[in-house]
Amino acid sequence: MDRSRAGLSLEQAVAEGLGSPSRESPLAADRLASAILDQTPDTVFAKDLVGRYIYINRAGAAACGLSRDAVLGQRDHDLFPREVADSLVAFDRATLAVGGEEIYEESVSINGAMTEHLVTKTPFRDSDGQIIGLIGLVKDITGRKRPEGLGRTDTDRLTDIIELQQAVGTAVMEPSAFMQLIVQRTRDLMGANGAAILLRDGEDLVIRAAAGTTVMGLGLRVPIDRSLVGACFRSNQAVQCDDVQNDPRVRLAACELFQVRSAVVVPLRDGLTTIGVLEAIADVPGFFGESARQTMLLVGGLLSAALARSTAFEANRRLLDERTTTLAALFGSEERLRSAMDAAQIGVWDWDVVGGRITWLGHHEAICGLAPGSFDGRYETFLACVHPEDRPGMEAALTSALASNSEYSHSHRVVWPDGSVHWVLGRGEFRRDPEGHTIRMYGAIMDITDRRVLEHQLLQAQKIEAMGQLAAGIAHEINTPTQYVGDNLHFLQEAFEGLLRVMVVYGDVVEAARAVGVPVAAADAAWKSADGGYLLAEIPRATVQALDGIERVTKIVRAMKEFSHPGGTEAIPVDLNHAIENTIAVSRNEWKYLADMVLELSPDLPPVPCLAGEIQQVILNLIVNAAHAIGDVVAESGGRGTIRISTTVVEGFVEVRVRDSGTGIPLEVRSRVFDPFFTTKDVGRGTGQGLALARDAIVRKHRGSLTFESEVGAGTCFLIRLPLHAPDQPGAES
């Protein structure tokens, strides 16, 4: 099979995969966006590079007096009188040539009636910035004497909403980044002083994202039962406040601080549940009108839907869809296809099921770590690239797609010849002949390793946060009994000292009585039966030991709390020795049966500006790795190993060394120790992410370094170097 035939079949595949333009347009890749656009009273449309309509909303079709299907796929010259079409196309060309927004007014005569329009045209681009078509917005301004600037503002708003939809559609769906995008755009869109997203947390709404004047409120909790945002949340409807000074629902103090005079708030929903609100504020009364409220509802709906489906896998799928769409737009020649695949870094396969041959195009070989042109077209060769653990899952996914005649979509690992592990996502479809026999499978593959790393980091962060909440709760539960156990032990200690003094006097009295012949047998018997001498010696020791125990409980609880709840996201001066001691305390169970812990902590270590939580995680990782390495040695030889942790100051840096007497790292894997997903541990014991994340934390977030020295059979020493002066804290204050 030659390349051009493969290209041709791909063209068909992608074109069919996309469907005809009337089915679903690439612009409104999701139905929600489409539904929103259908709600706007103005015309919204999109054209591809050759001038065919690939999308038009309901109002647009109605304005043309045609059905949507009659418009889609047609050019202006197919639809309108020639002179109208000429002028429309001229503006299209201008827009594409300029590469930016073009706005003009036009008068159109339809059925003898003159209408006036304000038209905005904007090119739209793929994720690499290539123009692949244009979007138009037509607003009917007939008979409307526009107040200065109003028409322009409204147009801007709608254009912005469309842009926002695009941005949301193509964004990597990490909820926080994306909420930030939304609030920023909301603020711009509304011309507001500030905007915020508040999500429910217990009895409160918490500001999770903010832009403008509300930024200083990030993380602030607002009670649901008495606040304007709470009123919106409770009623599940848009709420507007024209002047906070005459509105009993608002909290005036907070308004003053944020300089709020008017506000509009809309609910955010996940299915039927209200999960939070989106708010825009202004520092003058009556700033928001009815159109502002409508706009907010649109954005709120968009955000709700996007939040609901913001799983990472979904994001991957959408990205691949989008790139395939880009391909369609660029289709025309095999060369352009190839350059498009290069740009998108995807690989494409065409599997001739009957002939048993697979053709790879684009980056497919590179994604599997093979040299260009070296793929022999055999399924077995591809299967050999797949990570052995992932082969059954991938084959099951293929079989199931084939059996159910549905789309294949599966992510798995591939192992390159150099041993490095990469994550890929493949999507494809089977084609059948008229008799229903499967004849081909077409599909695309992309490398998603970076995303998997991000996902893992996100997951890790969520785990730590969950653990922090748990630890705070446990600490609270333990601290109360610890308080009164400690108080009572102190009391017993002091009380016994008092009792002892009394006993001494009583003893003297008994002896004096004995001397004068008063019978004291009862006293002697009681003393003997209670073993009085033993009690006098042991009670003080018992209380001291119990107090020591309660002290240790206190320390462990405190260490656990500090370890799991180490504070914010900015670097603050941290007592690194203390952080190391906390980490050792919480990880004791990992190493105490295998190794002795030796600490050589510099007593005059200055505070180090760092993110305590991140550094503790790194040290925890290194301790756990050290314990595992020692465990491998101890399992064979018996006995115990040693973990040695030291801190020193060296010329503007603090150095932390974690040294183990473990197996050492074999020479051949040393270069890959910090690679994501690389692990020598058994399944279930390590994710292969620990050191990759550790390096990221030290190098990227702290501008330090993480290196190691290792000798097989003798052990490994990891060295963390952290700068003493963070970039934003140049030296000590003068």
DSSP 147: P
Near other proteins by CB under 8 A, which window of 253-261, 295-303, 314-322, 642-650? 253-261
Among 20, 97, 105, 484, contact with other proteins (rule: CB under 8 A): 484
Tell me whether residue 107 or residue 734 sits nearer to other proteins (CB atom). Answer: 734
Helix residue spans in 516-569 (DSSP H):
521-530, 532-564
Residue 177 interacts with other proteins (CB under 8 A)?
no
Q: Which of residues 495-514 bind other proteins (CB under 8 A)?
A: 495
Residue 32 interacts with other proteins (CB under 8 A)?
no
> Which of 238, 213, 216, 234 shows the shortest CA–CA distance to 225?
234
Among 169, 217, 267, 704, contact with other proteins (rule: CB under 8 A): 217
d(C-alpha 620, C-alpha 606), whole Å: 21
The 10 Å Cβ neighbour count of residue 496 is: 17
> Which of 320, 371, 362 shows the shortest CA–CA distance to 341?
362
Near other proteins by CB under 8 A, which window of 183-191, 564-572, 631-639, 648-656? 564-572
Smallest gap from Cβ 217 to other proteins, in A, equals 6
Reduced to 3 states (helix: H, G, I; strand: E, B; else coil), residue 259 is coil
Among 81, 289, 355, 481, contact with other proteins (rule: CB under 8 A): 481
Among 170, 488, 602, 687, contact with other proteins (rule: CB under 8 A): 488
CB under 8 Å to 434, separation ≥6 — which residues? none
Tell the residue number behind the tokens 């020479």, with chain if given.
Answer: 667
Tell the residue number behind the tokens 């992410």, with chain if given.
Answer: 689
Torsion of CA 468, 474, 475, 476, to 10 degrees: 110
Smallest gap from Cβ 11 to other proteins, in A, equals 48
Q: Which pair of structure tokens corresponds to residue 457?
A: 């980091």
Tell the residue number behind the tokens 């006097």, with chain if given.
Answer: 505
Among 167, 402, 572, 699, contact with other proteins (rule: CB under 8 A): 572
Reduced to 3 states (helix: H, G, I; strand: E, B; else coil), residue 555 is helix
Among 567, 671, 685, 712, contact with other proteins (rule: CB under 8 A): 567
Contact 513, 520 (CB under 8 A): yes
Smallest gap from Cβ 401 to other proteins, in A, equals 46
Smallest gap from Cβ 566 to other proteins, in A, equals 11
Tell me whether residue 257 or residue 384 sits nearer to other proteins (CB atom). Answer: 257
Among 148, 335, 435, 570, contact with other proteins (rule: CB under 8 A): 570
Residues 532-551, one symbol each (x = binds other proteins by CB under 8 A, - = not), give: ------------------x-
> Which of 347, 349, 421, 338 shows the shortest CA–CA distance to 387?
421
Among 310, 479, 602, 705, contact with other proteins (rule: CB under 8 A): 479
| Amino acid letter for position 630 | I
Tell me whether residue 554 or residue 680 sits nearer to other proteins (CB atom). Answer: 554
Residue 236 interacts with other proteins (CB under 8 A)?
no
Smallest gap from Cβ 571 to other proteins, in A, equals 9
Q: Which pair of structure tokens corresponds to residue 665?
A: 């790292």
Q: Which pair of structure tokens corresponds to residue 661?
A: 């007497």
Residue 723 interacts with other proteins (CB under 8 A)?
no
Residue 12 interacts with other proteins (CB under 8 A)?
no
End-to-end CA distance of the chain: 75
d(C-alpha 263, C-alpha 291), whole Å: 14
Near other proteins by CB under 8 A, which window of 52-60, 218-226, 290-298, 642-650? 218-226
Among 357, 514, 565, 640, contact with other proteins (rule: CB under 8 A): 565
Tell me whether residue 98 or residue 218 sits nearer to other proteins (CB atom). Answer: 218
Tell me whether residue 169 or residue 217 sits nearer to other proteins (CB atom). Answer: 217
Per-residue DSSP letters for 335-362? Answer: HHHHHHHHHHTEEEEEEETTTTEEEEEE
Q: Which of residues 573-602 bind other proteins (CB under 8 A)?
A: 573
Per-residue DSSP letters for 671-727? Answer: GGTTSTT---SPTTT--S-HHHHHHIIIIIHHS-EEEEEEETTTEEEEEEEEESS-T
Tell me whether residue 379 or residue 491 sits nearer to other proteins (CB atom). Answer: 491
The 10 Å Cβ neighbour count of residue 492 is: 17
Residue 631 interacts with other proteins (CB under 8 A)?
no
> Which of 347, 365, 374, 317 shows the shortest CA–CA distance to 443?
347
Contact 202, 326 (CB under 8 A): no
Among 110, 114, 177, 218, contact with other proteins (rule: CB under 8 A): 218
Is the sign of the CA dihedral 468, 469, 473, 479 positive or negative? positive
Among 293, 558, 588, 670, contact with other proteins (rule: CB under 8 A): 558
Please count the residues of this chain forming the interface with other proteins, following the rule CB under 8 A.
45
Smallest gap from Cβ 609 to other proteins, in A, equals 9
Residue 470 interacts with other proteins (CB under 8 A)?
no
Strand 438-447 to 204-212 pairing: unpaired
Among 104, 379, 491, 506, contact with other proteins (rule: CB under 8 A): 491
d(C-alpha 527, C-alpha 505), whole Å: 14
Q: Which pair of structure tokens corresponds to residue 227?
A: 């606040």
Residue 254 interacts with other proteins (CB under 8 A)?
yes
Among 69, 128, 203, 256, contact with other proteins (rule: CB under 8 A): 256
Among 121, 422, 561, 672, contact with other proteins (rule: CB under 8 A): 561
Tell me whether residue 406 or residue 483 sits nearer to other proteins (CB atom). Answer: 483
| Amino acid letter for position 27 | L
The 10 Å Cβ neighbour count of residue 709 is: 14
Per-residue DSSP letters for 573-642? Answer: EE-HHHHHHHHHHHHHHHHTTTEEEEEEE-TTPPPEEE-HHHHHHHHHHHHHHHHHHHHHHHHHH-S-EE
Near other proteins by CB under 8 A, which window of 33-41, 212-220, 242-250, 433-441? 212-220
Residues 353-392, one symbol each (x = binds other proteins by CB under 8 A, - = not), give: ----------------------------------------
Near other proteins by CB under 8 A, which window of 84-92, 355-363, 384-392, 566-574? 566-574
Smallest gap from Cβ 218 to other proteins, in A, equals 7
| Amino acid letter for position 706 | L
Q: Which of residues 635-674 bind other proteins (CB under 8 A)?
A: none
Among 472, 499, 510, 597, contact with other proteins (rule: CB under 8 A): 472
Q: Enumerate binding residues for other proteins (CB under 8 A).
A: 213, 215-221, 253-254, 256-257, 472, 475-477, 479-488, 490-491, 494-495, 550, 554, 558, 561-562, 565, 567-570, 572-573, 728-729, 733
